[in-house]
Amino acid sequence: MGDPTSTKNLSTKGDHFVARREGVKKTYKATKTDDVVSTVTGDALLAFRKKYYFPNDMVVKVPARSDRACSPPLRFVTVYEFSLRAGLRFPPSPELSDILMICGVSLAQLSYRAMSIIMGLIVLFRDRGAVLSPDCLARMGRLIGDTQGRISFRSKWLDIRTRDLSKSWISDFFYVKNDWNLLEKWGKLRELPIPLHLGAEELLKILKFSDIDTLHYEVRYLSRYIDEEYLFKVGLSTQAGRSHAQMLKKSVKVSEAAIQSSKISPKRPGSEDNVQTVKKKRVEEVLTVTSKDPHISPSKSHIPEDVLKHQCVGRRYTEELNQKIDCLHIELVDAQMMINQQMKDQEILVAENKRLQSMLSERETQQLPSTVIDDFKKSAAFKIIVEDHIQEARNHIYDVEVKALEADCMEEGFIRGFMKGVRAVQRKTGAEIDGLTPSQASGDPSSDSGGEEIESELQKAFSLEEDEDDIDIL
């Protein structure tokens, strides 16, 4: 007998661990989409209709054993159950349809992480009054594909936490009629180009966040945005509860056995009425999102009663109109405040204008005489008046000066004539006269011709003085 262990291939503990990991990896690689059969049944589809609020007119189909997820029937698309848990609702949102068309992939190619992130971002953008575009999605992260064609999502600067607890998701798929022009066959991923014109600041402006920390916080807990309340709030879920088999269209074939089995299926603790009451109370409650982050303030959203009774047809359009009305009201208030401020400024300007006008009138009143004088000086009348005054001054000067000169001349002529007469008398008599008195001067003149000449000259001199005429005695 030999050693029983000698025939075995001995290996170390580490080698055994490596071999086991390789076996697991090989098993995982063997599980491809082409090899997996769907485990979804008619009962499961009824449960999906009731839980995820399928529209009544939506056609669904249970896959046969020969059907595969990557090859749906004509005019049908493949849908995984985890996509419904990740926030997918029917009809698909326009944002999701645009992203799928641009990337060239089918709805079933998105993994739970990719689907939950895209739907969460769609809800986040709608909740902030914006629309998720492919450029915004490309700026926030990157869609990547594996060898089997499945699409995941990576983000370097956003900490997005998502986790799928299901372990048997690969076989939970079914078919939905393609009424939305989605890609049916699986395709190769075309990566979204990174928009260079769109940065973090532009994202903050689109989402109306104050800083990047707020955006990081919202994206870190993005999984809360795929809750039914948020989906209903932004218009992605109807919450109609119209998924009973009796309310389905006739084109949908449901066997009686499936209906009976669904009726006798075990229920959760509590009656159906209690469950509906709990759901209604949960929906009627105010959705309050609170956080310990200082940048996040609590936000409240009240769901009115008419919505619960399904009387709000076009609710999303009504919400948009209400938002527009609120924006217009805010703009109106701002415009009224601006008009009031402008009226106050106008009153201040009017008062200032009146004050300046009064000051100007006072200045004009003070400067009016000088202005009149200046204008008068520039006029021809002033020149005439000045010339008249000058002529009067000249005439006055002439009258005073010339008459004074004439008086002086007459006095000097008289003296000269008198002295000439005296000298003539002296020459005639031959006597010297030391002094001449008025009585001596008034003596009888001689009879010669010399005396007569003197007398005539003296008479002429006296006549000139009386008549005030200009006579030159000499």
- For residues 237 and 336, membership in a common domain is answered with no
Where does a domain end: 369, 403, 436?
369
Residue 147's pLDDT is: 87
Per-residue model confidence as pLDDT tens for the chain (474 residues): 444 444 444 444 444 444 444 444 444 444 566 678 999 999 999 999 989 989 988 999 999 999 999 889 999 999 999 999 999 999 999 999 999 999 999 999 999 999 999 999 999 999 999 999 999 999 888 999 988 889 999 887 777 777 766 667 888 999 999 999 999 999 999 988 888 888 888 989 999 998 988 988 888 888 889 988 889 989 888 764 443 333 333 334 444 444 444 444 444 444 445 555 655 555 454 343 333 443 433 334 444 454 444 444 455 667 778 888 888 888 898 898 889 999 999 999 999 888 888 888 888 777 777 766 777 666 777 778 888 888 888 888 877 777 777 777 777 777 777 777 777 776 667 655 555 555 444 444 444 444 555 556 556 555 555 554 444 444
Q: What is the pLDDT of residues 145-202, one digit of tens each?
A: 988 889 999 887 777 777 766 667 888 999 999 999 999 999 999 988 888 888 888 9
Give 107-122 pLDDT, tens digit per residue. 999 999 999 999 999 9
Do 334 and 356 share a domain, yes or no? yes
Do 354 and 442 sit in the same domain of this protein? Answer: no
Q: Is residue 14 part of a domain?
A: no
Task: Say if 43 falls within a structural domain.
Answer: yes
Q: Report how far apart, in Å, the C-alpha atoms of 424 and of each of 354, 428, 430, 445, 471 are.
A: 96, 6, 10, 11, 21
Which domain range does residue 362 map to? 322-369
52 within some domain:
yes
Same domain for 331 and 391: no
* Structural domain includes residue 133: yes
Does 108 reside within a domain? yes
194 shares a domain with 116: yes
DSSP 293-320: -TT---EEE---HHHHTT--TTHHHHHH
Q: In whole angstroms, what is the distance from residue 182 CA to residue 454 CA?
A: 159
Query: Are 343 and 407 in the same domain?
Result: no
The torsion angles phi and psi of 144, rounded to 5 degrees, stand at -130, 150
Residues 364 and 405 in one domain: no
Residue 80 and residue 40: Cα distance in Å, rounded? 10
Report yes or no on 93 lying in a domain: yes
User: Domain count of the chain?
Assistant: 3
Residue 94 sits in the same domain as residue 160: yes
Give a yes or no: residue 74 inside a domain. Answer: yes
Same domain for 243 and 156, yes or no, is yes
- Regarding whether 350 and 255 lie in a shared domain, the answer is no
Of 265, 297, 314, the residue at which a domain comes to its end is: 265
What is d(CA 34, CA 141) in angstroms, rounded to the nearest whole number?
29
Based on the fold, state whether residues 359 and 423 are members of the same structural domain.
Answer: no
Whether residue 239 is contained in a domain is answered as yes
My answer on whether 237 and 198 are in the same domain is yes
The sign of the torsion formed by the CA atoms of 458, 461, 465, 466 equals positive
